[in-house]
């Protein structure tokens, strides 16, 4: 209660502060605005969610799990900050979310997932989440959708220097530095970050007898990295770019709150090193664009569990390491046959290799695979109102041809403000190297997952000065041969194909902007309903019902009003997820489900602009109402906590 | 005009605080129980790292089932991966493998009475005498000796004769004045321990991974070996059932199962002259033969996981899909089903009140 009162006082204080500032004069300095012409004939933008980097530029974000978790209705499964974060799109699991950076796929060849807490926000300029047909051409296996990240060159901007530093509760520190230089032909960007936290937050452990107030142990993390990007355009028709990213990290893996093995037992840690680079070439003239790119993603990961036995000493019970290499190349060509037709063809090749070993049990395996993807699309403008986009994609996995994937999308622009879209697609996701070859448990007989999805949506932009937008989408998807890891009587887990999973959902996002004098209100709201049910024969034998797939919330919502007055900005962020079930019986229960999640954060920023530089001061309150909660079973989360930051831009 | 927008935006922000709601962390009301004294406790393993282990109580008279008995009585979860149950001196012991502890519970009320904590990875429990419980461990290489009255760890028994070998005890049983334990994980030995000295006196080599052991009425030891898994660096072979003479240490007979067989449990009947075996189906073989014969209970549509034969019935667990609550079926001596109990996730062990 005390904390809640404090939180209200904090808000009131900010309010008073805001009102007081009305007596001063200042100017609003708008951030960089990118205006992009719609280059597509068959408009797929309604199947995309673009995260507005300008909207979130005033809060100090470090990794992508924070950005997406706070600004969309997408469910991120993560315990404490810095821990492994999986992203689920449209009722699927994290292996069905494909992630790419400058066209380089980032999903681990071993597990097929991406830990999005390891994607630094700083290393990307554009963030888009693509669904169905919008993500199929560039990504393989994106049954849920894809997260596409890219850097964007500046031209003729000279030197641009940006530094940001933040310090927060529980000894959390974030620093990043960005140096850009651009002329007419060369654009360079160098970025570096360091992020760490002890995560030693107090919590009430009511999960054991005599738990009392405890300090979270072994939840610390440190991660740092460097990105270099250079773009060269020798002429307006030629573009060459080279982007590289190196990153290293180390983190504790906190135990469950029920663990009483002692502070020196079962201490697990993870470390990871990543090296990513992609070279791209683009040549374009009026009606023709061709691109070629090639890149590699090299990763090294380790997991170790240490114990200490009185009288025996220290010993290691698990010492596993893996190295993965993914080399990806692609070639695409796009041609406008006329103002009405456009054809695109693409071929991509990926070589994946994984080496995994566990030193204590001397378990090791190596696995590799060549994947080739051919795809072609045709876009047709039937009239000013009707657009058609179709694509066909063929997956050749280790020399084996599969049934082609395809998508047809029809969009209708009913008026200047109102558009509709409908899409039907078939897509496929192939088992990862770990699914097939893991020791023990790998299942070489696994079949690829296949989905058929129908989408429908509308987009409405309100007329007049009040800028309001509504986007509504609905989908139905049937996934056959869904791959699920399950325990076995032998004591290890093993993946299996489950016959059928049906996912259905509705997504809404709305945005209202109103500017009055020197004030601006920007309200964003998004909601997603995702039903994801195992409809296999006999699935309900044990679950009793056709229950929701574990860890997929049925309801997810995000509400974010931002108020800007002169150089001050305050934004409130509210995120909610409905109950998440950890078994498929979808039964509300302390042991089998996690109660609904409601989280409130508050960000305040103030910008000081001088002739030569811009300074932004930020203050953030997380878990505003000091909720005692968890987002993963038996993993406590921190109460109210704060972060203060400063951002410096050389103008 | 400006003031109005200012006010509206703040009202919106403040009003949200009221709808943001409270999360229901730790809202676990407790219930008072008094058991009939004629029940069966069932430990439900739960899933590793999900912390959803639980204790089910089945009243044999009323046929009533109480799931999550420990959670309901104490308001706290049992922990992560329940492994073993032991009734000793009127108290129920539950070992919790991935919680590093064993809880001691009053079987009449399910109320917490004590705990043994600070264990690395506790597995099975054996009362060596009235005042001493041994708890095996999956990783630590030794058996913990626990004072049955104070619940304190009073000593350790190592299975390793030197630093170059690591054996971890699994199940333990009494044979005459000795304790015999099996080393299951990546191992193939049974160890004979002298409880008076706490020293390993001898060992018996078996087939790969002796997972379960029991002792029949003629003093023969039965070991169910799961054979490891394909690709295991320590070796892999078909699962097998072996009958061993603990005195001569001779393997008297072996049944090798098919390559893909995954037998999960064995249990002797109450008179010790027949052995129940789960190998997909349930078999019952006399201890004098090594012929499983035809199954007595079909496993079709089930995933039978563990079995306990008792004078008052045969209790057979069905882990189902291993991720949802399972079942325990109660059979009489003629293999006729008497009752079906819905339990927690992966029912693994039983204790008669």
Q: Which residues of A touch B110 (CB under 8 A)?
A: none
Distance, CA of A13 to CA of A153 (rounded, Å): 41
Residue B98 has pLDDT above 90, yes or no: yes
Report which DSSP code applies to A583: S
Residue A641 has pLDDT above 80, yes or no: yes
| Confidence at residue B151, expressed as pLDDT on a 0 to 100 scale | 97
Residue A30 has pLDDT above 70, yes or no: no
Mean pLDDT, chain A, whole residue set: 88
If pLDDT is split at 50, 70 and 90, which confidence band does B140 have? confident
Give the pLDDT confidence of B158-169 residue by residue, as tens digits: 988 776 778 999
Residue A1 has pLDDT above 50, yes or no: no
Residue A36 has pLDDT above 80, yes or no: no
| Confidence at residue A578, expressed as pLDDT on a 0 to 100 scale | 92
- Residue of chain A with shortest Cα separation from B343: A542
| Confidence at residue A480, expressed as pLDDT on a 0 to 100 scale | 95
Q: Which residues of B touch A572 (CB under 8 A)?
A: 13, 16
| Confidence at residue B58, expressed as pLDDT on a 0 to 100 scale | 97
SS3 state at A435: helix
More confident residue, B4 or B226: B226
Distance, CA of B67 to CA of A423 (rounded, Å): 47
Distance, CA of A227 to CA of A395 (rounded, Å): 32
In this complex, is the C-beta atom of A334 within 8 Å of any C-beta atom belonging to chain B?
no
Q: Do B28 and A590 touch (CB under 8 A)?
A: yes
| Confidence at residue A40, expressed as pLDDT on a 0 to 100 scale | 53
On whether the CB atoms of residues A430 and A397 are closer than 8 A, the answer is yes
Give the pLDDT confidence of B42-79 residue by residue, as tens digits: 999 999 999 999 999 999 999 999 999 999 999 999 99
Mean pLDDT, residues A50-58 taken together? 69
Give the pLDDT confidence of A353-398 residue by residue, as tens digits: 999 999 988 899 999 999 999 999 999 999 989 999 999 999 999 9
If residue A396 lies in a helix (H) or strand (E), which one and from where to where?
Answer: strand A386-397
What is each CA distance from A154 to A34, A216, B202, in whole angstroms?
Answer: 11, 43, 76
Q: Which residues of B touch A311 (CB under 8 A)?
A: 156
Distance, CA of A582 to CA of A635 (rounded, Å): 14
Residue A541 has pLDDT above 60, yes or no: no
In this complex, is the C-beta atom of A19 within 8 Å of any C-beta atom belonging to chain B?
yes
Distance, CA of A624 to CA of A641 (rounded, Å): 8
Largest Cα–Cα separation, chain B: 99
| Confidence at residue B20, expressed as pLDDT on a 0 to 100 scale | 55
Of A428-442, B2-16, B196-210, which range is least confident?
A: B2-16
- Domains, chain A, with CATH or none: 2-650 (2.40.170.20)
Mean pLDDT, residues A325-329 taken together? 97
Residues 536-575 of chain A with CB under 8 A from chain B are: 538, 541-544, 550, 559, 561, 563, 565, 570, 572, 574
Residue A55 has pLDDT above 70, yes or no: no
Residue B295 has pLDDT above 60, yes or no: yes
Mean pLDDT, chain B, whole residue set: 91
SS3 state at A26: coil
Residue A65 has pLDDT above 70, yes or no: yes
Q: Model pTM?
A: 0.88
Residue B195 has pLDDT above 90, yes or no: yes
In this complex, is the C-beta atom of A351 within 8 Å of any C-beta atom belonging to chain B?
no
Residue B154 has pLDDT above 80, yes or no: yes
More confident residue, A49 or A447: A447
List alpha helices for A102-219, DSSP H: 133-136
If pLDDT is split at 50, 70 and 90, which confidence band does B5 have? low
Q: How many CB pairs under 8 A join A and B?
A: 230
Pull the structure tokens for residue B16. Answer: 């949200």
Distance, CA of A5 to CA of A2 (rounded, Å): 5
Q: Do B231 and A261 touch (CB under 8 A)?
A: no
Residue A53 has pLDDT above 80, yes or no: no
Distance, CA of A630 to CA of A258 (rounded, Å): 13
If pLDDT is split at 50, 70 and 90, which confidence band does A17 have? very low
Which of A11, A486, A625 faces B321 most closely, judged by CB atoms? A486
What is each CA distance from A630 to A515, A639, B80, in whole angstroms?
Answer: 38, 10, 17
| Confidence at residue A67, expressed as pLDDT on a 0 to 100 scale | 85
Residue A58 backbone dihedrals phi, psi, to 5 degrees: -90, 0
| Confidence at residue A544, expressed as pLDDT on a 0 to 100 scale | 46
- Residue of chain B with shortest Cα separation from A262: B118
Mean pLDDT, residues A413-417 taken together? 90
Overall residue count recorded for chain A in this entry? 651
If pLDDT is split at 50, 70 and 90, which confidence band does A135 have? confident
More confident residue, A101 or A20: A101
Q: Which residues of A touch B143 (CB under 8 A)?
A: none
Mean pLDDT, residues B130-138 taken together? 96
If pLDDT is split at 50, 70 and 90, which confidence band does B4 have? low
To the nearest whole Å, the CA of B107 is away from the closest chain A CA by 17
Helix, strand, coil tally for chain B in percent (to 5): 10, 45, 45
Give the pLDDT confidence of A425-447 residue by residue, as tens digits: 999 999 999 999 999 999 999 99
Give the pLDDT confidence of A204-235 residue by residue, as tens digits: 999 999 999 999 999 999 999 999 999 999 99
> Which is nearest to A190 in space by CA: A145, A245, A110?
A245
| Confidence at residue B290, expressed as pLDDT on a 0 to 100 scale | 85
For β-strands A418-429 and A449-461, DSSP reports them as antiparallel
User: Can you name the residues that pair with B156 across neighbouring β-strands?
Assistant: B144
Residue A322 has pLDDT above 90, yes or no: yes
Residue A259 has pLDDT above 80, yes or no: yes
Q: Residues of chain A with pLDDT > 90: what percent?
A: 68
Distance, CA of B109 to CA of B107 (rounded, Å): 6
Residue B2 has pLDDT above 60, yes or no: no
Residue A5 has pLDDT above 70, yes or no: no
Overall residue count recorded for chain B in this entry? 353
| Confidence at residue B12, expressed as pLDDT on a 0 to 100 scale | 58
| Confidence at residue A264, expressed as pLDDT on a 0 to 100 scale | 86
Give the pLDDT confidence of A261-314 residue by residue, as tens digits: 988 888 999 999 999 999 999 999 989 999 999 999 999 999 999 988 766 778
């Amino acid at each position: 209660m005390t904390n809640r009162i404090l939180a209200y006082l904090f808000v009131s204080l900010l309010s008073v502060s805001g009102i007081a500032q009305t007596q001063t004069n200042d100017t609003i300095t708008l951030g960089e605005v990118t205006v992009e012409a719609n280059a597509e004939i068959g408009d797929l933008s309604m199947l995309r969610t673009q995260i507005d980097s300008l909207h979130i530029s005033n809060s100090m974000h470090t990794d992508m799990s924070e950005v997406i978790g706070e600004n969309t209705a997408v469910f991120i499964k993560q315990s404490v900050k810095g821990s492994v974060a999986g992203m689920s799109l449209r009722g699927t699991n994290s292996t069905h979310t494909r992630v790419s950076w400058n066209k380089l796929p980032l999903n681990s060849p071993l597990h097929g997932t991406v830990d999005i807490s390891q994607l630094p926000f700083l290393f990307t300029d554009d963030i888009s989440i693509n669904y169905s047909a919008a993500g199929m051409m560039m990504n393989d296996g994106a049954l849920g959708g894809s997260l596409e990240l890219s850097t964007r060159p500046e031209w003729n901007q000279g030197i641009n220097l940006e530094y940001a530093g933040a310090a927060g509760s529980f000894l959390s520190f974030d620093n990043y530095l960005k140096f850009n230089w651009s002329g007419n032909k060369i654009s360079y960007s160098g970025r570096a970050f360091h992020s760490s936290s002890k995560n030693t937050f107090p919590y009430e452990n009511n999960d054991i007898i005599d738990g009392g107030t405890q300090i979270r142990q072994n939840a610390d993390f440190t991660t740092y990295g460097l990105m270099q990007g250079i773009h060269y355009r020798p002429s307006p028709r030629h573009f060459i770019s080279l982007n590289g990213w190196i990153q290293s990290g180390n983190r504790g893996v906190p135990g469950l709150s029920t663990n009483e093995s002692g502070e020196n037992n079962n201490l697990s840690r993870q470390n990871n090193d990543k090296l990513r680079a992609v070279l791209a070439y683009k040549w374009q003239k009026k009606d023709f664009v061709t691109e070629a790119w090639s890149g590699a993603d090299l990763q090294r990961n380790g997991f170790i569990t240490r114990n200490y036995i009185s009288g025996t000493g220290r010993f290691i019970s698990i010492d596993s390491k893996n190295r993965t290499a993914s080399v990806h190349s692609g070639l695409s060509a796009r041609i406008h046959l006329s103002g009405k037709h456009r054809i695109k063809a693409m071929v991509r090749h990926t070589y994946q290799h994984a080496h995994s070993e566990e030193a204590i049990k001397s378990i090791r395996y190596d696995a590799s695979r060549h994947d080739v993807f051919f795809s072609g699309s045709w876009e047709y403008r039937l009239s000013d109102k009707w657009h058609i986009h179709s694509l066909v994609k063929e997956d050749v996995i280790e020399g084996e041809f599969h049934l082609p994937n395809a998508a047809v999308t029809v969009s209708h622009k009913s008026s200047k403000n109102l558009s509709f879209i409908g899409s039907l697609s078939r897509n496929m996701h192939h088992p990862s190297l770990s699914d097939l070859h893991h020791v023990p448990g790998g299942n070489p007989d696994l079949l690829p997952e296949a989905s058929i999805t129908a989408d429908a949506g509308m987009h409405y932009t309100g007329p007049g000065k009040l800028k309001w937008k509504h986007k509504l989408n609905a989908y139905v998807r049937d996934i056959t041969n869904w791959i699920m890891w399950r325990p076995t009587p032998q004591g290890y887990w093993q993946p299996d194909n489950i016959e059928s999973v049906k996912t259905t959902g509705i997504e809404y996002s709305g945005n209202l902007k109103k500017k009055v004098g020197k004030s601006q209100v920007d309200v964003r709201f998004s909601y997603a309903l995702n039903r994801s049910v195992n409809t296999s024969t006999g699935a309900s034998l044990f679950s009793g019902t056709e229950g929701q797939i574990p860890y997929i919330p049925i309801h997810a919502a995000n509400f974010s009003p931002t108020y800007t007055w002169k150089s001050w900005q305050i934004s409130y962020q509210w995120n909610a997820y409905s109950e998440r079930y950890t078994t498929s019986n979808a039964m509300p229960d302390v042991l089998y489900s996690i109660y609904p999640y409601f989280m409130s954060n508050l960000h305040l920023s103030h910008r000081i602009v001088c002739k030569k530089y811009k300074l932004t001061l930020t203050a953030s309150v997380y878990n505003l109402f000091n909720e005692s909660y968890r987002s993963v079973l038996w993993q406590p989360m921190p109460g109210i906590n704060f972060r203060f930051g400063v951002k410096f831009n050389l103008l | 005009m400006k003031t109005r927008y200012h006010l509206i935006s703040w009202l919106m922000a403040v009003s949200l605080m009221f709808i943001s709601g409270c999360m229901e962390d730790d809202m676990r009301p407790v219930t008072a129980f008094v058991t009939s004294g004629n029940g069966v406790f069932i430990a439900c393993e739960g899933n590793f790292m999900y912390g959803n282990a639980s204790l089910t109580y089945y009243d044999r008279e009323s046929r009533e089932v109480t799931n999550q008995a420990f959670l309901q009585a104490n308001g706290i979860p049992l922990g992560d991966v329940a492994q073993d149950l032991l009734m000793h001196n009127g108290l129920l012991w539950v070992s919790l493998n991935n919680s590093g502890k064993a809880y001691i519970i009053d079987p009449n009320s399910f109320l917490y009475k004590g705990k043994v904590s600070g264990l690395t990875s506790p597995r099975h429990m054996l009362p060596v005498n009235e005042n001493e419980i041994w708890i095996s461990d999956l990783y630590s290489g030794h058996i913990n000796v626990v004072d049955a009255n104070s619940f304190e760890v009073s000593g350790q028994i190592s299975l390793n004769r030197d630093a170059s070998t690591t054996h971890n005890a699994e199940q333990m049983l009494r044979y005459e004045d000795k304790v015999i334990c099996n080393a299951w994980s990546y191992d193939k030995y049974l160890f004979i321990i002298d409880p008076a000295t706490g020293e390993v006196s001898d060992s018996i080599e078996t087939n790969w991974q002796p997972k379960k052991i029991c002792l029949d009425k003629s003093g023969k030891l039965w070991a169910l070996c799961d054979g490891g898994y394909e690709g295991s660096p320590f070796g892999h072979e078909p699962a097998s059932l072996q009958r061993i003479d603990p005195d001569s240490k001779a393997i008297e007979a072996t049944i090798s199962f098919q390559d893909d067989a995954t037998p999960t449990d064995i249990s002797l009947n109450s008179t010790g002259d027949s052995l129940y075996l789960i190998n997909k189906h349930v078999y019952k073989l006399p201890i004098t033969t090594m012929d499983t014969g035809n199954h007595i209970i079909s496993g079709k549509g089930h995933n039978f996981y563990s079995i306990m034969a008792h004078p008052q019935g045969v209790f057979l667990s069905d882990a189902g899909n291993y991720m949802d609550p399972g079942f325990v079926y109660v059979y009489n001596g003629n293999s006729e089903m008497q009752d079906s109990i819905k339990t927690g996730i992966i029912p693994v062990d039983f204790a008669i009140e």
